[in-house]
Structure 1
Amino acid sequence: MKVKRIMSNTATSDFDKAAAFYGEILGLELFMDHGWFRTYGSDERMMVQVSFGTEGGSGTPVPDLSIEVDDIETALSRFEKANVPIEYGPASEPWGVRRFYVRDPFGKLINILQHE
């Protein structure tokens, strides 16, 4: 058996908040809309990964989700423009990433990162 994909699911009654955060700010495409379940994504190919930790590094809490971007400064600017509070960072970490933390509209702690 081979794991092909891992998807994160979040319960919500407000699809507009998901569209604003994941669609408008992060630029993900709406791949599927059943009316009761929507999936956002990108055509980027990536490895299947699941992470576990006692902390998020540099004394931060473990994030619920990590999203790697190709331009951290543009991502930061989009979140600031949307008035999404930055909970940590931006910081260049000793393990080779630049990152910041935000919370999505559902309370999930999101690690936005770019490898340096």
Structure 2
Amino acid sequence: MTVLRIVANITAGSPNEVEKFYKDLFGLGVLMDFGWIVTLGSEERAVTQLSLMSEGGSGTPVPDLSIEVDDVDEVYDRATSQGCKITYELTDEPWGVRRFFVADPTGKILNVLSHKS
């Protein structure tokens, strides 16, 4: 048996309103839209991972999702210019990532990160 993918599901009263946040901030495209469910994605392929956490690191709460990007500074600049709620400022962490936390329109906390070179 092989796990082919893990999909994050976010409760949203109006999926189309939350769609804009993820499209604008992360450049995701619509893969499927049935009204009651909107699935966003990219053409990139990633290794399947599931993190089990007792804390979020550096004294932060456990985030709801972690999203790795190629340029965290660019996404941070986009988030601040769009007036997104930053809940943990852009930080270089001792375990080798640069990250920040941002709240999506449903209140989910996203850990947005890049691995430091």
**Is the TM-score greater than 0.5?**
yes
Whole-Å Cα distance in 1 between the matches of residues 56 and 17 of structure 2? 25
Give, in angstroms, the shift of residue 109 of structure 1: 0.8
Distance 1:27 1:48 in 2: 21
1:77 is matched with which residue?
A: 77
- Runs of 4+ off more than 4 Å: none
Deviation at 1:15, TM superposition (A): 2.5
**When the two structures are superposed, what TM-score results if normalisation uses the length of structure 2?**
0.94
In structure 2, the partner of 1:53 is 53
**Any idea what SS the aligned residue of 1:44 has?**
coil
What secondary structure sits across from 1:80 in the alignment? helix
| Equivalence for 1:32 | 32
The CA deviation string for residues 20-45 of structure 1, in whole angstroms up to 9 with x for no partner, is: 21111111011001122110001111
Aligned AA (2:26): L
How many correspondences in the alignment?
116
8 A Cα contact 2:72 2:112, kept in partner: yes
Point out where structure 2 has 5 or more consecutive residues left out of the alignment.
Answer: none
Distance 1:16 1:38 in 2: 7
CA distance in 2, matches of 1:15, 1:37: 6
Is the CA contact 2:16–2:38 (under 8 Å) kept in the aligned structure 1? Answer: no
Could you say what secondary structure the match of 1:106 adopts?
A: coil
Q: Distance in 2 between matches of 1:17 and 1:67?
A: 20
* 5+ long unaligned stretches in structure 1: none
Partner of 1:10: 10
TM-score (norm 1): 0.95
Percent identity reads 48
CA shift for structure 1 position 100: 0.2
Which residue is equivalent to 1:100? 100
C-alpha separation in 1, matches of 2:33 and 2:63: 27
Deviation at 1:17, TM superposition (A): 2.7
